[in-house]
């Protein structure tokens, strides 16, 4: 099978960029011919009213991308076009270019973009589902759209652009025409189908992200707690450090917390940990190979997100290393961690409860090792590259079947007119 993969990179590399690159490599490793069309938000130049107006128009429909993709399809001859992120430079024109060329489209739902201008179902420090089933214009009033990765200057303006794109293509029926969607978790699928977009549920498939199976696996109980991720409010890392700095936190019982990542909260968190004398070490960004080694020595991995995180790659990496997880029961985490099986749940935004659950997971070594084995088994059952590859090919074939069915249906409708 020949596959053309389309992606709009973020300014700050995130999980979607990682998943895009991993899937391209996976397909090529299995002998598929894979071409890519990639645009980068780092190239955005939107200073001035005229530039912003052009960006607004391009986000709704990019004529250059439409033309470029048609050329790619003519020269490469793909059997499937797989679109990851399309905002703002690619635009939904990529879908129309594929359809005009007779090629089925697969679109990965890495987040909640189709139903939420922020793509996160999170604002003002809390989970927010105000737009689901009601339209995305509410996001403009709330100025929901994040400027963190996209290059937009001003969240209200960005919210207006995104809401306009989403509502325009809702009315055009763009989202209903996509032959196959990939939701990275059952939770994402549920929320998108609940919105009233009119999507055919049979076209919305669930396939999580994967991580390499060749990394080290933990042996023994491990020595510290580990957090891997961006240091931002929605990630719950402020709650995490407060738990370690509390009077009866895990740090007071000798358990070190290592934090891998960077972000806007880093100075605040470092100051909080230092003032409390808490054993928290900030390691900054680290390559994935080093993170794998850190996980293999960890007693527990903490992912205390306070938003409906679709599917955390950091959590899947912990499963692969056989490390039990401490997570909030939000978003895709409820599918990764059954409380008491592959880890424990803690209340979002509650440092006292997080501290209590972390102590439980750290102190009961027999429970910890049992959960670590269960975590590794869950990874082997659902998140290996080979399983992901098989799922991906099945979805591509499903998209092709939908396209063939649509072509046959349209022929049946038109045939009598030609005969007459």
Least Cα distance to 40 among 16, 2, 15, 7 occurs for: 7
CA 79 to each of CA 22, 39, 41, 85, 189: distance values in angstroms, whole numbers, following the listed order: 20, 21, 27, 20, 25
Q: What is the mean pLDDT of the chain?
A: 91
Q: Which range of residues forms the domain containing residue 164?
A: 2-210+387-419
Q: Are residues 273 and 398 in the same domain?
A: no
Question: Buried b vs exposed e over 136-167: b needs ≥16 C-beta within 10 Å?
Answer: bebbbebbbbbebbbbbeebebbbbbbbbbbe
Within-domain flag for 219: no
Q: Are residues 114 and 197 in the same domain?
A: yes
Q: Are residues 397 and 378 in the same domain?
A: no
Instruction: Report the chain (420 residues): mean pLDDT per 10 consecutive residues.
Output: 95 86 97 96 63 75 96 97 95 97 97 93 91 88 65 61 92 96 97 93 97 92 96 95 94 94 95 96 95 97 97 95 98 92 97 97 97 97 96 98 85 39
Within-domain flag for 238: yes
pLDDT attached to residue 154: 41
Within-domain flag for 293: yes
Within-domain flag for 273: yes
Q: Are residues 264 and 403 in the same domain?
A: no
Q: Are residues 34 and 70 in the same domain?
A: yes
Within-domain flag for 235: yes
pTM of the model: 0.91
Q: Are residues 235 and 305 in the same domain?
A: yes
Least Cα distance to 149 among 317, 353, 12 occurs for: 12
Can you read off the two tokens belonging to residue 395?
A: 């979805």
Least Cα distance to 107 among 22, 33, 34, 177 occurs for: 177
Q: Are residues 83 and 114 in the same domain?
A: yes
Q: Are residues 122 and 150 in the same domain?
A: yes
Q: Are residues 243 and 374 in the same domain?
A: yes
Q: Are residues 69 and 189 in the same domain?
A: yes
Within-domain flag for 218: no
pLDDT attached to residue 205: 98
pLDDT attached to residue 47: 54
- List phi, psi (to 5°) of 55: -65, -40
Q: Are residues 84 and 179 in the same domain?
A: yes
Q: Are residues 191 and 229 in the same domain?
A: no
Query: Strands 126-127, 180-183: parallel, antiparallel or unpaired by DSSP?
Result: unpaired
Q: Is the peptide bond before 88 cis (omega within 30 degrees of 0)?
A: yes
Least Cα distance to 353 among 331, 327, 382 occurs for: 327
Within-domain flag for 216: no
pLDDT attached to residue 155: 62
Residues contacting 410, CB < 8 A, separation 6+: none
Q: What CATH number corresponds to the domain at position 198?
A: 3.40.50.2000
Domains in the chain, number: 2
Task: Dump pLDDT digits (tens) for 258-279.
Answer: 999 999 999 999 999 999 999 9
Terminal CA-CA length for the chain: 39
Within-domain flag for 161: yes
Neighbours of 101 (CB within 10 A): 16
Whose structure tokens read 């306070």?
306
pLDDT attached to residue 418: 36
């Amino acid at each position: 099978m020949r596959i053309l993969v389309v992606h709009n990179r973020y300014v700050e590399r995130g999980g979607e960029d990682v998943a895009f690159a991993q899937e391209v490599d996976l397909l090529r490793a299995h002998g598929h011919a894979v071409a890519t069309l990639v645009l980068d938000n780092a190239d955005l130049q939107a200073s001035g009213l005229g530039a912003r107006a052009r960006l607004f128009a391009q986000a709704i429909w990019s004529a250059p991308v439409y033309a470029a993709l048609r050329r790619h399809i003519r020269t490469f001859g793909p059997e499937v076009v797989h679109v990851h992120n399309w905002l703002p430079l690619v635009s939904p024109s990529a879908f129309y270019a594929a359809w005009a060329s007779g090629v089925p489209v697969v679109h990965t739902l890495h987040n909640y973009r189709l139903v939420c201008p922020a793509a996160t179902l999170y604002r003002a420090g809390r989970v927010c589902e105000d737009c689901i089933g009601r339209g995305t214009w509410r996001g403009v009033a709330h100025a929901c759209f994040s400027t963190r990765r996209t290059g937009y200057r001003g969240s209200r303006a960005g919210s207006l652009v995104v809401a306009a794109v989403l509502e325009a293509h809702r009315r055009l029926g763009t989202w209903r025409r996509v032959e196959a969607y990939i939701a990275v978790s059952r939770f994402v699928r549920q929320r998108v189908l609940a919105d009233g977009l009119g999507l055919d549920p049979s076209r919305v498939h669930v396939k999580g992200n994967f991580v390499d199976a060749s990394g080290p696996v933990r042996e023994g109980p491990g020595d510290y707690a580990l957090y891997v991720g961006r240091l931002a409010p929605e990630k719950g890392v402020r709650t995490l450090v407060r738990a370690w700095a509390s009077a009866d936190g895990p740090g007071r019982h000798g358990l070190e917390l290592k934090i891998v990542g960077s972000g806007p909260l880093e100075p605040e968190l470092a100051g909080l940990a230092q003032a409390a004398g808490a054993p928290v070490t900030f390691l900054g960004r680290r390559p994935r190979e080093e993170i794998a080694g850190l996980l293999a020595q960890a007693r527990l991995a903490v992912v205390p997100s306070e938003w409906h995180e679709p599917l955390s790659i950091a959590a899947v990496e912990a499963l692969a290393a056989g490390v039990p997880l401490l997570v909030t029961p939000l978003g895709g985490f409820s599918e990764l961690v059954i409380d008491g099986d592959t880890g424990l749940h803690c209340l979002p935004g509650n440092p006292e409860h997080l501290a209590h659950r972390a102590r439980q997971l750290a102190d009961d070594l027999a429970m910890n090792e049992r959960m670590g084995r269960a975590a590794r088994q869950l990874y082997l059952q659902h998140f290996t590259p080979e399983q992901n590859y098989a799922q991906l090919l099945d979805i591509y074939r499903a998209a092709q079947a939908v396209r063939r069915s649509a072509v046959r249906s349209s022929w049946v409708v038109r045939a009598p007119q030609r005969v007459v």
